Structure 1
């Protein structure tokens, strides 16, 4: 706890002071340009990865960066309500689903860990990525273990992009050109980000995409 308290003091003395005018602007309202859906994993920091400041990203985090398919429900739906708010009220221009390497949620789903028997809510949540798991299980015999992980993590990102398209108001905004979707796979140990190309069905290194666009 002391480390966190020291961090508060350091933030107020250093980071806040260097962005004082920005925080004054943010006092009354937020106008984020991007909804960033990421895993709750402590190693994934959306603002650090993207080099963005407070007010730019509206962030949703949960186990394995999952987007439940759209449904009308009387339940308490945290992820769904946050998506609704970001798109309908804040009118974000982009939605990014960002998976990452060594994802515990994806690994637990893939390997059916006994640990999940003690985590009933997590177990239920991960049922949403069973279709991805089943696809990977069918291909496992022809791949190395590291490839299983990447296939699961990247396949999960693609699956969540499909889920986003079940939201009528998202599909409508995409069709009108008001909203863009993107799927990312962040590699913790190298800092690399691979971006999904729906035309090829493959993930390409972000640095290469940027270089090609400049060229």
Structure 2
């Protein structure tokens, strides 16, 4: 706790003062250009890897960067409500689904029901991506564990991109050219980010030389 309090004081002395004008402008409104849907993993810091400032990204984070398909429900739906607010109220121009390397949530997709017995809510949440292991098994018949890991993370990203299009207000905006959906795979140990090229049907490294 002390470490967090010291960080707050340092923020006030340094970062806040350096961007005082920006924070004053943001005090009463926000106009983010992008909805960033990422994993809750502590190693993934959206503003750091995109070099964005406060007010630019509307961020949703959960285990394995999952997007539940659209549905009418009376349940409490955190991710769905955040997506709805970002698109309909804030009118973002872009949605990024960002997965990452060494994702524990994606690895758990390959675990059995009993192996996740101590994580019942995680197990339930991962059912949204239940199709991923089957698709990976078909694609990586003779792949190494490392190849299966990357493939799982990337197939999971594609599933969430598809799920976004089940939201009527998203599908309408995408069709009308008012909203773009991107799929990213962030490699923690190298700092590389691969973007899914829909025309080629493959992930390409951003900033290729």
State the TM-score, normalizing by the size of structure 2: 0.97
Contact 2:38 2:61 in 1 (8 A): yes
Q: Which residue number corresponds to residue 31 of structure 2? A: 31
Separation of aligned partners in 2, 1:106 and 1:7: 32
Distance 1:140 1:113, change over 3 A: farther
Q: Which residue number corresponds to residue 171 of structure 1? A: 171
Residue 115 of structure 1 and its aligned partner are, at CA, apart by 4.3
Contact 2:113 2:123 in 1 (8 A): no
Q: Which residue number corresponds to residue 186 of structure 2? A: 186
Alignment of 1:17-166 (within 5 A): 17-112=17-112, 114-166=114-166
Separation of aligned partners in 2, 1:200 and 1:9: 48
The gaps in structure 2 that reach 5 residues or longer are none
Deviations 1:90-141 (A, max 9, x none): 0000000000000000001123375411111100000111111111123443
Provide the alpha-carbon RMSD of the alignment: 1.1
Separation of aligned partners in 2, 1:54 and 1:115: 40
State the TM-score, normalizing by the size of structure 1: 0.95
The 3-state SS of whatever aligns with 2:130 is helix
Q: Which has the higher helix share?
A: 1
The gaps in structure 1 that reach 5 residues or longer are none
Separation of aligned partners in 2, 1:175 and 1:59: 23
